[in-house]
Amino acid sequence: MSAFVNYKNTPIHYTETGKGTAIVLLHGFLENISMWKSLETLLATKYRVICVDLLGHGKSENLGYVHTMSEMAESVKAVLDELNVRRSFFVGHSMGGYVALAFADLYPDNVKGLILLNSTARPDSEQKKIGRDRAIAVVKENHKSFIRTSIPMLFRSKCRKIYAEQIAEVKKEALATSRQGIIAALEGMKLRSDREVLLHFGPYPSMIILGKKDPVLNYDDLIAQTHGANTEVVELENGHMSLIEDKEAAEQAILEFVKKN
């Protein structure tokens, strides 16, 4: 089922497949629900899978000039309320992980389990914030050029040739993202809070799936977040796009986490 819910007079697009325990899949920056096709098919044989196009992405409209992670989380809550879903597993890729953390911060009782896929619980460093501002300036000039340049840089360098076809598809989907949607997300990511405490004290199981050669996130920084935390860590071999670069291992890790929790 593909449908829309109205959130603050803004249409939010979502899909729902399968029956059983709910699993909410939240895509990353410049992505949309199409990234979940394979995983959604795998999970929907036993679970109720809900995919949401986050604000300004996919078929969901823009709400404003800044889409905070909390605002995105509230739009996800509107979808779940529409579907009468109380507790769910959340899987968030990159920015989707920030949104899942914001949701868990706002509604801890509604979270059955949390998986950060190529994502981090820490906020942007000052250096990263400067990088976001530079990106915003580039997007204002030519957002399509920004997309074409950015997407390949998410992959481990040696994977860029191997997955050239998949990269072309990711670019194609990303190019449908509006300039406003891109800028609003960049501004929102720049402002996000430190939610590392949720990995240590969240009242639900959690897991981080990371790429050891991720060009976006620092490996040591990710490992440091889990020290002393009751958070499972799955280390994969490649970059920031584990569902493409380490597809079977990433899907299996998600499936096993849901099964045992």
The DSSP string of 78-133 is HHHHHTT---EEEEEETHHHHHHHHHHHH-GGGEEEEEEES--SS---HHHHHHHH
234-261 pLDDT, tens per residue? 999 999 999 999 999 999 999 999 999 9
Query: DSSP E strands: which ranges in the chain?
Result: 2-7, 10-17, 22-26, 48-52, 88-93, 111-117, 206-211, 231-236
Nearest to 257 by CA among 17, 9, 89, 42: 89
- What pTM does this model have? 0.98
Summarised one tens digit per residue, pLDDT across range 75-120 is: 999 999 999 999 999 999 999 999 999 999 999 999 999 999 999 9
* Domains defined for the chain, CATH in brackets: 2-260 (3.40.50.1820)
For residue 121, what are the contacts with CB-CB under 8 A and spacing of at least 6?
101, 194, 195, 196, 198, 199, 225
Between β-strands 111-117 and 88-93, what pairing exists: parallel, antiparallel or unpaired?
Answer: parallel
Percent of the chain past pLDDT 70, that is, above it, reads 100
The average confidence (pLDDT) of the chain is 98
Q: What is the biggest distance separating any 2 CA atoms in the chain, rounded to whole angstroms?
A: 48
Tell me whether strands 48-52 and 22-26 are parallel, antiparallel or unpaired: parallel
Q: pLDDT band at 132, cuts 50/70/90?
A: very high
The pLDDT confidence band at residue 163, using thresholds 50, 70 and 90, is: very high
Arithmetic mean of pLDDT, 134-157: 97
Q: pLDDT (tens digit, 9 = 90+) per residue, 165-209?
A: 999 999 999 999 999 999 999 999 999 999 999 999 999 999 999
